[in-house]
Amino acid sequence: QQPVQSPQAVILREGEDAVINCSSSKALYSVHWYRQKHGEAPVFLMILLKGGEQKGHDKISASFNEKKQQSSLYLTASQLSYSGTYFCGTEAIQGAQKLVFGQGTRLTINP
């Protein structure tokens, strides 16, 4: 079952923060986050595993609430390069190696 992302689209000014949410109705083993720029392949950002861990690098971080089956991606002090469509991908079974992607959140950063 496809996870639900919100919001569907966000428009920000450079330097502002954004939060993108991903919710699943199924128990999850892991949540992946990817960014896809127009005309390019998706690029892996990070993976969060069952256990409710939080990860981050640079000004992009994410959390995974296992009880609620929700993950959030946090973009702090957004840069123009952050523009693109963000997808979460969920994996219900450890080792299944079968990601189900959300519908995507389009992020536009304006100068």
Partner 1 sequence: SAVISQKPSRDICQRGTSLTIQCQVDSQVTMMFWYRQQPGQSLTLIATANQGSEATYESGFVIDKFPISRPNLTFSTLTVSNMSPEDSSIYLCSVLDRDTSYGYTFGSGTRLTVV
* C-alpha dist (Å) from residue 60 to 92, 94, 95: 24, 25, 26
User: Does residue 12 belong to the site contacting partner 1 (CB under 8 A)?
Assistant: no
Cα angle 13, 14, 17; round to 5: 80
Instruction: Say which residue the tokens 């960014």 belong to.
Output: 35
Q: Which of residues 31-70 bind partner 1 (CB under 8 A)?
A: 32, 34, 40-47
* The one segment of 15-23, 59-67, 73-81, 102-110 that binds partner 1 by CB under 8 A: 102-110
Residues at the interface with partner 1 (CB under 8 A): 2, 32, 34, 40-47, 87, 89, 97-104
